[in-house]
Structure 1
Amino acid sequence: MSDSAEPRRPLPLVMEAPRGRAKPPVHLADLDPAGRAALLAERGLPAFRAKQLSHHYFGRLVDDAEQMTDLPAGQRADLVGALLPPLMTPVRTMEADAGTTRKTLWRLFDGALVESVLMRYPGRATMCVSSQAGCGMACPFCATGQGGLQRNMSTAEIVEQVLAGARALARDEVPGGPGRVSNVVFMGMGEPLANYKAVVGAVRRLTDPTPDGLGMSARGVTVSTVGLVPRIRQLAEEGVPVTLALSLHAPDDELRNELVPINTRFSVEETVQAAFDYAQATKRRVSIEYAMMRGINDQGWRADLLADVLMRGDWGWVHVNLIPLNPTPGSKWTASDPADEAEFVRRLEARGIPTTVRDTRGREIDGACGQLAAAE
């Protein structure tokens, strides 16, 4: 198949969003505690109120100023306007799996559209969040990649997706009783490591102790990447041991150059080595994401080659997560035959590589990332 593919020019390390756009309003979640206090002081407001606002936002999950009764009525609107400006508006929410999967399309302040998904399972609740409006990585089987990159999201816009899910769970709006967000995966729209500063800022806000942040464990956060090698190495030095998920999708350069064009910049060997080094540095097992595509990357010999690529070191540093492709309308890319999928799993496990097939949720609600935004 790759013989007939059109040649691709190598992508730059970071795909820059179009310039000239207005920036999102500064929000409490963009700032550390000192920055929040300084912003209030700059606006002539009492700096100590910043901690109260943080408690309402991260601790109580309040989004209605009228419920912030410990703030003086005469200053409440100014305080909330300074640190808690509205960031996004829901356009549409669709439900599946008896209401335990909720996909929301959001309109940002400048009209850009992004998606988030709340998935509740017995014992845990996961938020899948976007980090960019669109994506510049140009993977041809991905609905988001087909639309290109509009802009990077701010730290607060990323965090607000999680907080929206946290509020829904806390208010018993999701079947299963009141709950909390236990896991966050950066697997929505965009390439997280191409928006590095905002994504790391969001991780810090999510893991900072309450009321400075949401108080999550870094072990509950997964950051996905198609393989921006310098950023993987930078992330290993941040001191936040999040799980790294590498979207590999092919074990050989010839096919991966076509499926994941950034591979023309960073080869399979370079990318997997960076992931291995990340695991060594953080002691966190890396997840290898592999979308199974019929007749493209699901052959048994490619499973053997994938095992060869991943066999390094003397400890279980990696876990393979096979993803049944959720095809976009009109796409030539389709999900693998179940028998081929089972054989792929068998071959990997025979080599001692832990492998699972991802639970696919949301097919009936345009579950593939980017489908709702594209339809809108």
Structure 2
Amino acid sequence: MSIMVNIELRGCSEDELIKICKEIGLKRFRAIQLFQWVQQKAVRTWEEMKNIGERDRQTLRSRLSLYPLEKVREQRSKDGTRKYLFRLEDSETIECVLMDYARTSSRDRHTVCVSTQVGCAVGCAFCATGLEGFRRNLSVGEIVGQVLDITHLVRQEDPDFQVTNIVFMGMGEPLLNYDQVLQAIQLLNQAQGLNIGMRRMTISTCGVVPQIIQLAKDNPQVGLAVSLHASQDEVRNKLIPMNRRYPLTQLMEACQEYTQITHRRITFEVALTAENAKREEAEALAKLLKGQFGYVNLIPVNPVAGTGMERPKPELIRRFAQVLEDAGISVSSREERGADIDAACGQLRRQWEG
């Protein structure tokens, strides 16, 4: 006797829903309707699916579970950034951030920074998330659900709102939850859903070498950002413990292989503190990145209680960037977003649980 397993609706592709509907005696068009309600219109309840009759809804509920995230807290920055703390079905909490960037064209850019784990096992020295340790990986539905629930919330104020970009650089290390992240990317990309372009999604990693190479082979259209933060193994070992397992030599080789396969530039992220924003570090970084197909994104650190790190002065950031540019490396400085609402990963969760 087989036991029917209840499946998470938000984690299902259109093809998976077609297969499930066939198994329970419903027509193909029902699956397509269901997928559009959940993934395109971002509804949170079965009752909102107006063109699906009550009888069919009950049949679907026998196989599928719909678990919207519970908004615990929302903070809004003066620059328009919104930070959300969501509660999951098992009462764990995660964060995600919506950042709006005005464009000169008719379409603004709405970027959602998505979490992929509850907590994080990496424990980077400058990150609030790592201070809380690792709880578990997020499911596909929980990853996608962050984008869907933000869409639902913002559409209450702006019915035409659409997420345009996704960055997997919230709580957790995305490449340590590899399969679920890639499935989430496929779902977010589907034409009958939110239809977010692959090239508008970026995975940020601290340097999980095997998965960087696997990502290049599995999904060459998605962007890659590498949290570099130091040019020497001795320093990076302290900042990013993962470096002890995959030191800089291995990481740079993996980055070379990634760009050879995908022909896409890598974003090398460098967190700048008052301590490391020095000319010597900029010169060493330029030497390390020589020959890499990528550019550097300088990130002045957000002050986080418990890390002891301070933001560098603007003139130090400019001098650091100039050294890289003089060495022929493209460089940008991340626009500060949401500093007045503690937008750094893990800060809101720590406040809530602390």
State the secondary structure of the residue aligned to 2:297: strand
Letter aligned with residue 37 of structure 1: I
* Counterpart in the other structure of 1:91: 72
Residue of structure 2 aligned with 1:145, choices 126, 130, 133: 130
State the secondary structure of the residue aligned to 1:117: strand
Confirm or deny that 1:53 pairs with 2:34: yes
Confirm or deny that 1:155 pairs with 2:140: yes
Kept in 2, the 8 Å contact 1:29–1:156? The answer is yes
Cα distance in 2 between the residues matched to 1:198 and 1:135: 16
State the secondary structure of the residue aligned to 1:335: coil
Kept in 2, the 8 Å contact 1:29–1:205? The answer is no
* Counterpart in the other structure of 2:348: 372
Kindly state the Cα deviation for residue 240 of structure 1 after the two structures are TM-superposed. Answer: 4.3
Letter aligned with residue 237 of structure 1: K
* Counterpart in the other structure of 1:208: 190
TM-score by length of 2: 0.91
* Counterpart in the other structure of 2:13: 32
Cα distance in 1 between the residues matched to 2:61 and 2:286: 53
Kindly state the Cα deviation for residue 276 of structure 1 after the two structures are TM-superposed. Answer: 2.6
Kindly state the Cα deviation for residue 203 of structure 1 after the two structures are TM-superposed. Answer: 0.8
* Counterpart in the other structure of 1:362: 338
Kindly state the Cα deviation for residue 43 of structure 1 after the two structures are TM-superposed. Answer: 5.1
* Counterpart in the other structure of 1:7: none
Residue of structure 1 aligned with 2:165, choices 175, 183, 189: 183
Kindly state the Cα deviation for residue 48 of structure 1 after the two structures are TM-superposed. Answer: 4.5
Residue of structure 1 aligned with 2:326, choices 333, 345, 350: 350
Residue of structure 2 aligned with 1:132, choices 100, 117, 130: 117
Cα distance in 2 between the residues matched to 1:262 and 1:138: 9
Confirm or deny that 1:244 pairs with 2:229: no
State the secondary structure of the residue aligned to 2:7: coil
Farther-moved stretch of structure 1 (113-122 vs 31-40): 31-40
Farther-moved stretch of structure 1 (201-210 vs 191-200): 201-210
- Residues 61, 252 of structure 1: CA spacing in aligned structure 2 closer, same or farther, 3 A cutoff? same
Letter aligned with residue 177 of structure 2: N
Aligned ranges 1:150-299 → 2 under 5 Å: 150-173=135-158, 178-210=160-192, 213-295=193-275, 297-299=276-278
State the secondary structure of the residue aligned to 2:217: coil
Kindly state the Cα deviation for residue 362 of structure 1 after the two structures are TM-superposed. Answer: 1.3
State the secondary structure of the residue aligned to 2:310: coil
Letter aligned with residue 106 of structure 1: F
Cα distance in 2 between the residues matched to 1:25 and 1:269: 45
Deviation string, structure 1 residues 220-270 (Cα, Å, up to 9, x no partner): 000000000000000001134111000010011110011011111111121
Cα distance in 2 between the residues matched to 1:145 and 1:25: 32
Name the Cα RMSD after superposition.
2.0
* Counterpart in the other structure of 1:19: none
* Counterpart in the other structure of 2:101: 121
Cα distance in 1 between the residues matched to 2:6 and 2:231: 42
Deviation string, structure 1 residues 122-145 (Cα, Å, up to 9, x no partner): 121000000000000011221001
Kindly state the Cα deviation for residue 330 of structure 1 after the two structures are TM-superposed. Answer: 4.0
Deviation string, structure 1 residues 49-79 (Cα, Å, up to 9, x no partner): 2211001112333334333221112332442
Confirm or deny that 1:312 pairs with 2:291: yes
Kindly state the Cα deviation for residue 26 of structure 1 after the two structures are TM-superposed. Answer: 2.9
State the secondary structure of the residue aligned to 1:272: helix
Kept in 1, the 8 Å contact 2:128–2:346? The answer is yes
Letter aligned with residue 105 of structure 1: L
State the secondary structure of the residue aligned to 1:329: coil
- Residues 171, 370 of structure 1: CA spacing in aligned structure 2 closer, same or farther, 3 A cutoff? same
Letter aligned with residue 328 of structure 2: G
Kept in 1, the 8 Å contact 2:6–2:64? The answer is no
Farther-moved stretch of structure 1 (52-61 vs 344-353): 52-61
Kept in 1, the 8 Å contact 2:82–2:99? The answer is yes
Kept in 2, the 8 Å contact 1:138–1:146? The answer is yes
Q: Which aligned segments of 4 or more residues in structure 1 are displaced greater than 6 angstroms?
A: none
State the secondary structure of the residue aligned to 1:334: coil
Cα distance in 2 between the residues matched to 1:320 and 1:143: 23
Letter aligned with residue 345 of structure 1: A
Cα distance in 2 between the residues matched to 1:161 and 1:168: 11
TM-score by length of 1: 0.86
State the secondary structure of the residue aligned to 2:97: strand
State the secondary structure of the residue aligned to 1:284: coil
State the secondary structure of the residue aligned to 1:184: strand
Cα distance in 2 between the residues matched to 1:248 and 1:283: 20
- Residues 232, 329 of structure 1: CA spacing in aligned structure 2 closer, same or farther, 3 A cutoff? same
Deviation string, structure 1 residues 92-144 (Cα, Å, up to 9, x no partner): 0111125x211000111111110000111112100000000000001122100
In structure 1, runs of 5+ residues without a counterpart are: 1-23
Kept in 1, the 8 Å contact 2:37–2:43? The answer is yes
Number of residues paired by the alignment? 343
Cα distance in 2 between the residues matched to 1:294 and 1:56: 48
Letter aligned with residue 351 of structure 1: A
